[in-house]
A and B are shown apart, each in its own frame.
Chain A
Amino acid sequence: MKFLTEFRDPELVHEYVAELHKITTKSWTLMEICGGQTHSLVKNGLLDLLPEKITMVHGPGCPVCVTSVSVIDEAVWLAEQPNVILCSFGDMLRVPGSKKSLLEAKAIGADVRILYSPLEAVEIARKNPDKEVVFFAVGFETTAPANALSVIHASQQGILNYSILASHVLVPPAMEAILSDEANTIDAFLAAGHVCTIMGMDEYYPVAEKYQIPIVVTGFEPVDLLQGILMAVRQLEKGQHLVENQYARSVLREGNKTAQATIQKVFSVNDRVWRGIGSIPQSGYEVNEAYKAHNARIKFFIDIPFAEENKECISGDIMKGLKKPKQCPNFGTKCKPEHPLGAPMVSSEGACAAYYHYNFQPEESGSHI
């Protein structure tokens, strides 16, 4: 665990915190893109350590949260088809569709399996030639290479009973959608370290330039996050808007070229509906023409009605950084992990889940959010 403990070193944390307090003169609002970063901030109690002038708002980087209701409905529909084994990452299972979640479909007999890797799903398809195996390919650019690779493997090995239901989303278009919103108040971004490990940093230079906003590629451990915040605040205090790399132990400027090539081989960029935010042009991946035999949407002629989001869920405002989870009137009352109104309450990276599970406020002080 040495590879982690040094990034959780309390002394280093307090050093960065002290430095932040020293250099911060104005009020700044920073958005961390990734839900993993949100959880780390809340779980480790880092928000309490920041200067009052710094406000962290939580971004859209939780793939589970931004997956639209209609896509969940597609997955549930597929799972309920006879002869289909639907494979998924674990935290998609609790997300509510318009009628039910995958977990509920599983409880009444659908064959839904939790996997850690899409390559396992290819293996299941190989072992069950009389079944159709569908992998629910959700995620940002981070999970896209492995999902693409599963399609390439299946295609090469002639495993025709394997397909994916792709619902990939892309970070840079989402950042632009947030920055173009009139109500936006964000001064700087902490970009998601894992996404940049794959995609590199080049996509962010035009965004930083166009919107005059600092972007710091940041990791997920307490020391990473505080260093990322410190780098962003230093820029803000100096009036800069650079793209910087805090997570250099993982991120190269050009990213992982092999992974990018794998993505390009299997996927094409298309428009995608984000839960709570709406359609963002050119913000997702779909299986391309060359591999359409492995596209579940084509294979199963999925044609289900478009489902409206639950009107009571303000996940869109939360993921655009306009509101905090506790500003939602349904937080912790009508909306709880056991009966969620929206995905951010049940995803392991969801902002609402982070506040619900970890956020502690001492009895004596009132709400600080």
Chain B
Amino acid sequence: MPKFDFDVITMGHGSGGLLTHRLLQSGVFDLLKNNLLDQQHDGAMLELNGPVAFSTDSYVISPIFFPGGNIGELAVNGTVNDLAMCGATAKYLSLGFIIEEGFSMKEFWEVLVGIKEAAEKSGVSIVTGDTKVVEKGKGDKIFINTSGIGQIHPKASIHHNRIEAGDKIILSGNLAQHGIAIMSLRQGLEFETDIVSDTINLNFTILSLVETFGQEIKFLRDPTRGGLASVMNELAELRKLGFVLEQEKIPLDEQVEGACEMLGLDPLYVANEGLFVAVVSANIADDFLQKLRSDPNGINAAIVGEVTAANPGKVLLKSRIGGHRVVGYLTGEQLPRIC
């Protein structure tokens, strides 16, 4: 960590004046260095060919450090993955900080290192950025926005309107890891686990699947906020088809399942990072699964359900016992129960 003038971020660091200049010059630019960022212009001037995907997301997570990662890694991986779900490889990212006055410089640096490492890992360049500081109490340590541009793979054809009855629903790994890792740290939840967030870049995993299976991949989505249930409901509503999940097939870590039981949460609604759901043609489903399982990001992948013409607009869960239940949209926040 380079030496900074201050131990904490002050209002002056967002003023655009000398302190902002020093903050950037004394480390930030060096850390995130690339040709485009080094231009230090008002915006990055880029060259792109062919169809591109463009996505943005804001990261307001608390706590900002959690088992398995920090808000910086999340901010890079999240947008890289959103682009991957379009069948695109992320190339350029913008990076905007809204920092609360008093945020420690040491923690800021750790977040920056998280950003740098995640960007390197996913092969994306941070080409433009912005830093604002808000008064103490007007933020929560640090908020990050990233927007990204990626080149869409020529073989990709990802759109919900391509989903048909008979298609298979594939989940790339264990459900609910990230949400439970975060929750285990929140105030008042004193339970000890070694559950870690699954935040990771998925772009290379997706790229190789798209390369192999092309148009047979109908739809991709990372079930972050709202969890798997929300993604399925959106699709059921848009496509007027039934989405049937099999409880027994859904990969779930034993500790996560236990934590969900204890906290009264349904893992289907818990947030994920580094996880994706794919809807693919039935004829390639097994090959797709086999290939995905040979990738480090897909070792626990499973076919968890299928799309049906029956029950249009509904998401159903077939329980281990054999009964069915409707899986609806989450209403508001998932709130912990009394007993």
B318's nearest neighbour on chain A, judged by CB, is A45
Q: Which residues of B contact A116 (CB under 8 A)?
A: 188-189, 263, 336
Interface residue B310 (Cβ < 8 Å from any Cβ of A)? yes
Interface residue A90 (Cβ < 8 Å from any Cβ of B)? yes
Interface residues of B, count at CB 8 A? 29
Chain A proximity of B61: nearest CB distance (Å):
17
Q: Once the chains bind, are A45 and B331 in contact (CB under 8 Å)?
A: no
Q: Once the chains bind, are A46 and B338 in contact (CB under 8 Å)?
A: no
Interface residue A298 (Cβ < 8 Å from any Cβ of B)? no
A358-B319 Cα distance, complex, nearest whole Å: 11
Interface residue A304 (Cβ < 8 Å from any Cβ of B)? no
Q: Given A8-B321, A44-B319, is A138 in contact with B338 using a C-beta cutoff of 8 Å?
A: yes
- Specify which of B325, B328, B332, B335 is in contact with A45 (CB 8 Å cutoff): B325
Within 8 A of A (CB), among B249-265: 254, 257-258, 261, 263-264
Q: Once the chains bind, are A348 and B264 in contact (CB under 8 Å)?
A: yes
Within 8 A of A (CB), among B125-151: none
Interface residue B322 (Cβ < 8 Å from any Cβ of A)? yes
CB within 8 Å: A-B pair count? 103
Q: Which residues of B contact A138 (CB under 8 A)?
A: 338
Q: Given A116-B188, A337-B331, A338-B331, is A194 in contact with B339 using a C-beta cutoff of 8 Å?
A: yes
Q: Once the chains bind, are A63 and B338 in contact (CB under 8 Å)?
A: yes
Q: Which residues of A contact B322 (CB under 8 A)?
A: 10, 45, 49
Q: Once the chains bind, are A359 and B325 in contact (CB under 8 Å)?
A: yes
Q: Which residues of A contact B325 (CB under 8 A)?
A: 42-45, 357-360
A143-B335 Cα distance, complex, nearest whole Å: 17
- Specify which of B319, B321, B332, B336 is in contact with A338 (CB 8 Å cutoff): B332
Q: Which residues of A contact B46 (CB under 8 A)?
A: none
Q: Once the chains bind, are B335 and A93 in contact (CB under 8 Å)?
A: yes
A63-B336 Cα distance, complex, nearest whole Å: 14
Q: Which residues of B contact A291 (CB under 8 A)?
A: none
Q: Which residues of A contact B263 (CB under 8 A)?
A: 116
Interface residue B45 (Cβ < 8 Å from any Cβ of A)? no
Q: Once the chains bind, are A94 and B332 in contact (CB under 8 Å)?
A: yes
A45-B319 Cα distance, complex, nearest whole Å: 8
Q: Which residues of B contact A94 (CB under 8 A)?
A: 332, 335
Q: Given A1-B257, A356-B328, A363-B310, is A10 in contact with B321 using a C-beta cutoff of 8 Å?
A: yes
Chain A 283-327, CB-CB to B under 8 Å as 1, else 0, gives 000000000000000000000000000000000000000000000
Interface of B toward A, CB cutoff 8 Å: 187-189, 254, 257-258, 261, 263-264, 310-311, 314, 316, 319-326, 328, 331-332, 335-339
Interface of A toward B, CB cutoff 8 Å: 1, 4, 8, 10, 13-14, 36, 42-46, 48-49, 63-64, 89-94, 103, 114-117, 120, 138-140, 142-143, 194, 222, 336-338, 346, 348-349, 356-360, 362-363
**Pairs A-B, 5 closest by C-beta atoms:** A45-B323, A90-B335, A90-B336, A337-B331, A358-B325
